[in-house]
Structure 1
Amino acid sequence: MAGLLSNFRNTMIVSFVLALVIVGGYAAHSGGGADQIFWTAVARWLHTFFGILWIGLLYYFNFVQIRKMPEIPAELKPAVSKYIAPEALFWFRYAALATWVMGVILAYLRGYLFDAFSLGALSGFANPQITLIGLGMWLATIMFFNVWAFIWPAQKIALGIVEGDADAKAAAGRKAMIFSRTNTLLSVPMLVTMTMSQTIFG
């Protein structure tokens, strides 16, 4: 068991195999089999998984890395900037992409994608659930856009992946921090809409 758990890739393979067995159990025991309700449940699972990965890394950057970097001795900072940060940013940006895509698929399967993106305007604002979940979808979309349009391009310069002088790296690092902090600000109200809608409205 220790051999399995010491290898990250094998740990995740086994985890997903177990998860897929359980998904198969739900398919076998759901009333309609692999119908739209089943695929909606699968989309919600994947949306949640990728969302935890995305927001977890966002919180790691803001709760830990950005705050503690000034305290790290200069000779130790390359360990973070050359090894930890690029790897974390890889999972961060692709988790953001996967979360957004699965969220769109989930909203489509539930039948409210376009109405929610209009904040309920397409249905005359008759359903507060649509307006509120639409608000959350827009907050998440802004956050997703920030990751790919601002944070990642700036981080490439700040980390030296793209060439830049010392001033450019400092400006890029600040830009990445501001947009990352913006996403942190937006994340808490976004999570309110995503979690409370399911409880209040079903």
Structure 2
Amino acid sequence: MTTEELDDTAQPLLSHLIELRQRLMWAVGGFFVAFLVCFFFAKQLFNLLVVPFSWAVEWAGLEGRQIELIYTAPQEFFFTQIKIAMFGGLVIAFPMIAAQVYKFVAPGLYKNEKAAFLPFLIASPLLFLLGGALVYLFFTPMVLWFFLSMEQPADGGKVAIELLPKVSEYLDLIMTLIFAFGLVFQLPVVTTLLARVGLVTADGLASKRKYAIVAAFVAAAILTPPDPASQIGLALPTILLYEIAIYAARIVEKRRAESGAEDESDAPSDDENASSEASTP
């Protein structure tokens, strides 16, 4: 390979690296700005995350009880606020980060590949937010209601046992549940992408439905408190998402078959090829 050929090869690589650096700077800058905003409002955001706890108190019949959370180390609540800022900053900045990723890979995609990639880019954060909303509105109050039911009042000489969560442990519980449900809600997106590249089929997914149902309940039993309501609350959405994934895979296969039929109809037949060859002088 000559020096000129090496120079020609180095130029595209250098331009790609410059483009990558620019996209990374925009993504990191967007996250940093969102992090600062969320850190400024960290206490308000934490109070918002405590709302499901107040709902659980009402469900447990403890109206009028003051919600109290504690921290036992001087720096604990400070680092808790940093975690809140990082979590909120990532959620807020995700559209910008995803847009920068798309702008970096889009020049290397064909037009039909861009059209196929965009719906997943939009559906993924929406499904994650849907899973987080389910955790916030239903699952977290249900879990905390179960934990509150284990309290023991100071009656008849019994020792008073009261739930006083630490701020860091409460935030870890909320974040773990949101991430778990958010990832589970990505099942239709991942399955559809695998179906597009031919790694899975709708019939294959349907044939393993019974195993998926058992796996959903096993995962729910491991990830949730040992009460039927919490386990069903995680297992049922997982099973529903699996059915949606099967339906999405069928749509992908149907469109692929229709596209293949159109290509075959557009291709010249053997008779047409023979007549064209015969008419050629």
Q: TM-score range by the shorter chain?
A: 0.3 to 0.5
Q: Please say which structure displays the higher CA radius of gyration.
A: 2
TM-score (structure 1 length as normaliser)? 0.36
TM-score (structure 2 length as normaliser)? 0.28
